[in-house]
Structure 1
Amino acid sequence: MTAARHVFAVLGPQQGSGVLLTPHLVLTSAHVVGENEYAGVAAIGRAGPLALRVIRSDDELDFALLHSEEPLGPAPVLGALATDRPVPGCEILGFPRIQRYEGQRLDLDQFTGTALPMAGLVRRTLSVELDGPPVTADEHGPSPLAGLSGAPVYADDGLIGIVRAVPRGRGHRRLECVPLSAVLEHPDVRRLLPRDFAPPAPVTRTHPGDRPYEREYADALGVAYRRTKIFGLDELDRRASEWDLDTAYLSLEAAARNRGGAEPVPHRIDELLAARPRVLIRGDAGAGKTTLLWWLAAHAAAGTLGPHLAELNGLVPFVVPLRTLRARDTGFPGLAELPGVAGLVVDAAPGGWAGRVLAAGRGLLLVDGLDEVPQEEREAAHAWLSGLLARYPRTRCVATVRPLAVDPDWLGSENFEELTLLPMRDADIQAFVAAWHAAARLDDVDPAGLDVLERDLALQFSHNPVLADLARTPLLCAVICALHRLREGFLPDTRWALYQSALQLLLGDRDKRRRIDAPDGIRMSVEEHLQLLQRIAAWLVRGGQTEFTRQQALHQLARALPGMPRVAAQGTPTEILTHLLNRSGLLQERADDVFQFAHRTFQDFLAAKEFVEDDLVHEMLQHVRDQQWHDVLLLAAGHCSRRELPFLVEGVLEAGSAVRDRGRKTTLYVLAARCAQHAAWLSEPLHARVRKAVKSVLPPRNATQLPQLAALGPYLLPLLPSPEKTPKDALTMIVSLICEVGGSEAVPYARDFAGSDPTATLAVNWARFPTQLYAREVLSRADLANAVLLVSEPDQLPLLRTLPQARRLYFRGSFDANTLTDALTGRTADTLVIRENGVLGDLGFLRSCGRDLRTLRIDQCPHVQIAALTGLDSLDELHLVDQRLGAGDLEAVAKLSGLAKLYLVPEAADGGLDLTPLHAASRRLHVHAFGVPERRITGRAALGSRLTVHS
């Protein structure tokens, strides 16, 4: 992000300039705003000036702070001069008279100069000598720099002060400035700053090469990460096979790990990342972990992240793909190596650049694939990451890992929070199908045919829950889209068959359809391709890595080719490798002479084929306790013959029986059951052993085991205990497990538990089941009087009239006022939660609840008019969470005569919290304020013991 985004024209008695200090505070000169209570603020590209309140003005230092109710943008990096030597290369941005055009219209101007730390010590000022005089300088006329008062001064990209005057007698080349350090030391300013306000970074000298390099680095990130390959589209030309990440990216749902055991509510991943500076993301193969990091890197560098993640805009991403380190056999990167570890096409960074970025709190560390570090090296990975973050504690970090590769809270000591990517819901699958076909239309000669295929596939997903269950990750959904197109609507029905068909698509059908015959002078069958690729894949799995160099690949090919004389006769190992890279579609170059499979799942599938064909099932079983091998073992089950599969399943069962830890036992028993599901035939005694093993770990002991067991899908449901045989303290876990499985086959089991204690769990999981069937069979039988019913899909709303016993309703999503009026009219509701609604403004529909509404929570609804609550005197409890709270809002709240409890969580605390309007409220009202330091709360004294501050 450029510094210009932080700069404003300030319109008071005089016209001046200003700069963001925090997202809600603009810093300018006191003489610009004068005695006024408000000042106008305008910016390039922003419609019309805003009227901001002057919350602090100091004539002696000559600075003023203006407060905005809504955030104006991300705050700049702050700096403090820590040297008495001149600092060249400083930059000043503002709106001087010299830059006005067409009369009085303002435009931004830019100056460079040298800061002179010793030149204004007596007056506590900072002097900056401009590199050249203004073009129209006149020693006896008005200064051409008039209007620059309040303009920011930057050194090393950090804000170090603001201009306050242009002394005469120096040809308008000397600027007198207020040091930022003097402003921040002011006691009134300290009280106005948010609690997480970071102190300025020391500036000892400038690095003029940093800024241009940073622009080059951001461009290189865009080139590397703004486009991505989508499976099944590489049969088209290059423009269609690599599509913009904005088009390809689907914001998936995730759940935060809840240490308190409460039911986690899914959110979009970018919403969850916003408030978490350090995050470990767990997700299955193909779940979109790497795509997410690429999307963050590209958009953070370009400053184009949306409202939820706006504070990441302008940070410098350092992408660390750990698979690359494995391929290069190098250690974990040091500071100087961070910019280059991702293999970007950019020159070497200026010396010390990465350290300066991290020290300034401007780094975004994106660590991809902690599971791809061998088990014996993971503690070293932990030490590297924790050491780096301890040295630079303001660095934001997102790391990814497969679900079970590291223990829960593995990075908890480093203040990481854990998020788990959730399987795509039906609506996400339909959105992905639409996006995939939209990309395919870019170059297709028959767009009408694609329209028909898209409608057919969308219909198949709607009516075939087995197919939908196969498409719960972006990778598998893309595979299904591609195969559906090529097979004109016919699809395989198992995960293993999907991969097998995808390989046939890539290795056999593609060139035939494109009428390409031996373009490299090499002609190979599908099986010959597979034999070579699976050798490489098995070698990678044995070494615990996913990337390899050219020399490593040539070594593996040289070992395999003597057994393939027909292929060996067509070319050298180098030529064969070139053919595999060019024609297979399965290998791709990640960096210079560093390669990987297009997706790790294909690597695991081919490695499993190699192990089975080489009669090495026993070797795989030696690694059964290593989660990195579990996908290989699972896919091997599909390759196994009738003789081999029992050996594999029994080996996994025995490994599970040998461990005492219930969590690991659960993991292995589930793996055995999933392997058994691949069997076309397996003896009934062995099937019975598998079922008995799974039943032995039911009910699950903790939430970590829920997704593991739910991976068995409908297979698990008959193994669950009945409500009568379920211990009372395990009811919630069993019901949660039924909800995790979801779908129509789980409805009868949910119905059996509808009269049991964990009604709350059934009520918040409606979206996991067919809407009408679940309402009729489950919710209508449940005691919903005291459970919160989550309504998140439009097709659920009409069914609310069939559930009159639901008195506590939770609406999540952008439902408009008319829709909510229709849903609530004629029913009794004593509790309402309205969350994440981006369209709702008017709250008049609440009157549909009459005198029954006792509790109301408004959460993340930016356009809601709180003042419309007037008249709802039945309200006893009100929660306003992540809302912008103005004086008018709290005045309306104060008029609610029945209100006894008010919970306030302001969207931003930069301007503090003014509770003065609540002085007029009933004496029975008790206020709970969250996230605002007590010293920043105005009007707290009059509330006395009726105010509780939760810091």
Structure 2
Amino acid sequence: MVDPSALGARLASSAVAPLVKKLFVKDQPGAALVTKPVRISGLVSFKGEKRDVTPKDVEKIADELVRRALKAAGPGELPVDATEAVAVRSALAHALSALGTLTIEDYEAVALGPDEFARTLRSQSAVAVATFALSRDAELFLDRLLHTASLHILNFFTQRSTYIARQQTHQSQQLAQLVKAVDVLLERLPSQSAEDAAFEAQYASYIASHHGTLTIYGLDVYAGTSEWPLDTAYLSLEATRDRPGEGATQVAAEQVLAQHDHVLLRGVAGSGKTTLVQWLAVTAADRTYEHGLTHLIGRVPFVLPMRRIVRPGSELPIPADFLSAVGCLVAGGQPPGWVDRVLRAGRGVLLVDGLDEISEDRRESAKRWLRDLTRTFPGNLWLITTRPSAVPDRWLDTTGFAELTLSPMTRDDVETFVRRWHRAAGADEVIGTALLEAVRGASELNRLATNPLMCGMLCALHRERRGFLPQDRKSLYEAALTMLLERRDVERDVRATTRLPFATQVQLLQKLAWWLIRNSRAEMDRSEAVHILGEAAPAMNLDGSGEEVYGWLLLRSGLLREPADGRVHFLHRTFQDYLGARLAVQELDFDLLLNNADRTEWEDVILLAVAHARPREAERMLQRLVGSGTARGKLLAAAAASYAAELAPAVRQGVEEGVRSLIPPRTRQDAYALAEAGGDLVLSLLPGPEEVRDELAYLVPLVAATIGSTPALHFLSRFRDHHDPQVQLVLASSWPAFDRHLYLREIIAHLSLSPPVFVHGREDLLALRSIGGWPDIHVVGAYRVEDLTELIVPEQLLCLSLDAPHPVEGFAWLSAFPRLTDLLVATAVDADTARQVPSGVRLNSPPATAT
């Protein structure tokens, strides 16, 4: 059998080149300059306003590449069987389709080379490709085909008439940028002594090496994975500034100093504040000036972690002592007066990290120190980071500091972070893809993955268990709590005057959590929290008052935050549920738990209580839930059974019998009732596509479509290849309940039977056009002919249904769709109207109620 990794090389250029060219639009003269850079995504022929091919044509191209490669192998040398050949073809099509999402320009792609470019395409389509579960031979075959295609794609770029012109234009732009950088540098750099210049070069190298890696604290990972290069690990997040009367404005976090000279940046524990400080320091110290951030050119960064420069009984450092205060290893070579000269020239970038990490009684002195420094040395850039509740709003207003807050990670941020984490850690890409699938499919993981700290925790735990997260949420939360409450401050060397034991912190926090749950509250008054903690302190032998204990938990636990003055809540609702359930079991509050089983907000609390309960307690809870006789009780019992470490066979059998009467649904009414009763809870109990084969198979995806959540969308994506027309019809008609563009990409674009897709207006038509159009479109509601002719892809449309109260009279406009064969109008049509239908189009005239 032939080596699959070498098979792609047997494809002759004359066979591959014509196929590759089909992926791109025809050549255009000149430099093809536009207001924005010309990206590869703008060159592909299956995306954009004018298409030469469609996404389905990309599949045909991939199919042809696979077919020719297998033919070149010769008889008896095939590396994969017929089934896997189909999977390789689909995976290759997904990888080639990633061309439509690349933001790099063609000359940048050529600079990457074929190996790295192929890896880029593969990483862009990693989630989709992983769903095909290829064997090792099939993986090697796919990699070789993709590499061969990449060679020809890059060669095609270099042959375009616009390539040389655009490359020269880019070089001119680079030269202009360099000239501008030199101008800024000359303006910002006063005449320096040779001693100052030599030390600055040495200091810049130190900053790059000392802050050039990112450390994830509190993770039990394999050796060498806790630190990774900052240039590959850094993730650009958004910072929000909310000013009364002006609304909220957002800016990339690394650009905050481009807009404001003085910035106080708030962010929750693990949100990336320290990482941003590191990135700004390394970027400012970069003496190549390729970053394009003019405000950092020629500046000198000073990283000042507050936990290191504030020492008991000592004053905050003067500028001459900045380097020695933070233990800078090159401080001994600092020329006398160098820091003063830098700051007086307005060349400093002062990065004061972790204002919350010093005791409250030192913060006023820190405020005076900052005020004196900013007034004595104007013209420098200042960034101060803190957790949200450490200092009040407008704390530094008098010194001209703008206040911004780091925003939570978006879905795209999470995907980018996970991919980079696994690449930097040297982990298998497939493991990262599996984690993304898990995060998308599990609501509790989705709620956790909101900042780099939590995402890093999930990545590490997932890899540590060789691609699997803990099977129970209890273990996941325990690992997170250990990291946040015990290990993180220890490993960060945070010097706290008081350090509460881990078990004490958990006990205190769960009292706050259970109070919030019992009172159906999302947050509480600060005074209420102080009272609860004050009452608990004596029994735990704590010396401090309730106010002192509250202040310590707020600043150091990472689990509490004050969203507004005098109010407090848990950073993640899921931790509140976990801690509250833990105390509920300790207090034997089972009746209170079960009496609220019909309330959605108590769902996770009950599930986690079963996880915390002893075997007999868990069994009694499940028996009561099943015995309630309600659909929700039975579903909750079935979901909770997987949380119990030990169950008697009779109890487990009773739970299974209870849910068997509900799943799978047998009528549409059953499906709707099941969705209403169970919500996301029911998704883990529904059968998968391989388990439903009869005429009622469509009822299973109907349940998920009715739920309409992100986990439900993930569940539906498993059914997109199901052969049943009714299943595909449910999928095609359910997208209004979800994120429009995501649903199109994840589900509709993959429906093989091309069922009718229902659109309800211009935005739906635009979205449908973004995936290359659709052959069968059902327009519901009033429409404009202009929208239909402008937004429906003419070459795709075969069937059109118009279901409107008052259809537009006349059908001459249908000539815009040359392939249209069927028109369905949901109203009565007389003979005069029928005569206006273009030849070749069959007009059906059902009653007005037709769908």
Which bracket does the TM-score occupy, shorter chain normalised? 0.3 to 0.5
Indicate the structure with greater strand content.
1
Q: TM-score, normalised on structure 2?
A: 0.44
Greater helix proportion: 2
- TM-score, L = length of structure 1: 0.39
If asked which structure has higher relative contact order (CA below 8 Å, sep 6+), I would say: 2
